[in-house]
């Protein structure tokens, strides 16, 4: 599988880790007839940026021991930071893939990749350093974030996630007036924080974008 055409440099991830993530996130949100998937949306780069930032070292999380696994209701209890979870997790999952299928994750066929992801999700892969479910849950959470968060974080490139939903982005100038209006509100192009910073959007006096709207064409959105 080819590397994604990333015009950005990775800060934390190694090339091998980026290849793993490109392959994995593309299975989680695939490219299909509805449009591009997570790989093209730049989710790998989004994860890289999150990892190098405050969240990557759990800067605002409680990080003192003693460490116990606890019950599911007690939530995250790993001693590892997200940086470590990705680094160690990817390495150990690739070891597992090599043992079981003779190849790194990114070289497996799509249906085998799905199988591995399902096994991770169910906690069915025993990794030496962490629960495979913990790894999967963080990966899926970050993939969803990277696909739908404002492009300011490096994912949701070209507002791919928002276009999939028909989400207009930053709240529009007319929303208050439209509150009790059932007419569908559809925009030609969602407006992001990046668009506003780069002066690509028309704004009202209060800073709310004046979305360019599509004509009503009926049919389902």
Partner 1 sequence: MTTTKMKHVDAVVVGSGVVGSIMCMELANAGLSVVCLERGRMSDPQKDFTMPYVHDELKYDRHSDIFQNLSRETITVRNNMGEMALPMRELGSFKPGELVGGTAVHWGTNARRFLPHDFELRSQSEARYGKDYFPQDCTSQDWGVTYDDVEPYYDMFEHIYGVGGKAGNLDGQIQPGGNPHEGPRSREYPNPPTRRTPQGEIFAKAVSELGYTPFQGPAAAMTQEYTNLYKVHLGECQRGGFCSSHACSQGAKANPLTTVMPALYKQPTFEMRPLCNVIKVNTDSTGKKATGVTYIDARGNTVEQTADIVILATYCFNNTRLLLLSDIGTPYDPTTGKGVVGRNYSYQTGGRIHVFFDDKEFNPFIGGGMVNTSIDDLNGDVIDRSGLGFVGGAYIGCAQPGATPIKSKPVPHGTPRWGAAWKKAVAENYHHCLTVSIHGSCQSYRGHYLDLDPTYKDANGLPLLRMTYDWHQNEQKMLKWMYEKITQIVKVMNPSKYHAHPIASKYSIVPYQSTHNMGGVAMGADPATSAVNKHLQSWDIPNLFVVGGSAFPQNPAQGPTETIGMLACWAADGIKDIYLKRPGQSMV
CB 213 within 8 A of CB 187: yes
What is the pattern of x (binds partner 1, CB under 8 A) and - over residues 119-138? --x-----------------
Q: Is 28 in the site for partner 1 (CB under 8 A)?
A: yes
Nearby residues of 142 by Cβ (< 8 Å), 6 or more positions away: 43, 46, 47, 50
Site string for partner 1, 79-98 (x = CB under 8 A): --------------------
Per CB under 8 A, 184 contacts partner 1: yes
Q: Which is nearer to partner 1, 10 or 136 (CB)?
A: 136
Question: Helix, strand, coil shares of the chain as percentages rounded to 5?
Answer: 45, 5, 50
| 15 counts as binding partner 1 under rule CB under 8 A | no
Which residues 6+ apart lie within 8 Å of 159 measured at CB?
151, 169, 189, 190, 192
Half-sphere exposure of 179 (CA within 13 A, CB side): 2
Q: Which of 5, 179, 199, 217 touches partner 1 (CB under 8 A)?
A: 179
Q: Which of 12, 17, 24, 25 is nearest to 145 (CA)?
A: 25
* Alpha-carbon separation of residue 49 from 125, 172, 178 (angstroms): 27, 28, 37
Among the listed ranges 6-14, 15-23, 94-102, 160-168, the one in contact with partner 1 (CB under 8 A) is 160-168
Residue 155 tokens read as 């994912």
How many residues touch partner 1 under the rule CB under 8 A: the total is: 67
- Smallest gap from residue 63 Cβ to partner 1 (A): 6
**C-alpha angle 63/84/132, rounded to 5°?**
100
Binding flag, residue 199, partner 1 (CB under 8 A): no
For partner 1, the binding residues (CB under 8 A) are 27-30, 32, 34, 37, 54-55, 58-64, 66, 68, 70-77, 114, 117, 121, 140, 143-145, 148-150, 152-153, 161-162, 164-172, 175-176, 178-182, 184-185, 193, 196, 203, 206-209, 220-221
């Amino acid at each position: 599988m080819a590397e994604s055409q990333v015009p950005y440099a990775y800060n934390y991830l190694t090339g091998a880790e980026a290849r793993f993530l490109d392959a994995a996130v593309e299975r989680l949100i695939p490219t299909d007839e509805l449009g591009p998937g997570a790989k093209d949306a730049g989710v790998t780069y989004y994860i890289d940026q999150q990892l190098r930032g405050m969240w990557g070292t759990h800067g605002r999380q409680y990080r003192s021991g003693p460490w116990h696994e606890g019950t599911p209701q007690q939530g995250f209890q790993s001693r590892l930071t997200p940086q470590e979870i990705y680094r160690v997790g990817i390495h150990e999952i690739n070891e597992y893939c090599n043992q079981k299928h003779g190849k790194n994750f990114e070289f497996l066929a799509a249906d085998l990749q799905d199988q591995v992801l399902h096994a991770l999700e169910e906690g069915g892969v025993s990794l030496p350093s962490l629960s495979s479910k913990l790894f999967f849950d963080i990966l899926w959470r970050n993939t969803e974030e990277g696909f739908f968060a404002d492009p300011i974080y490096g994912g949701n490139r070209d507002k791919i996630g928002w276009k999939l939903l028909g989400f207009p982005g930053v709240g529009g100038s007319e929303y208050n007036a439209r509150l009790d209006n059932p007419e569908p509100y559809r925009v030609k192009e969602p407006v992001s924080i990046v668009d506003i910073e780069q002066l690509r959007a028309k704004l009202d006096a209060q800073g709310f974008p004046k979305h360019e709207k599509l004509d009503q064409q009926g049919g389902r959105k």
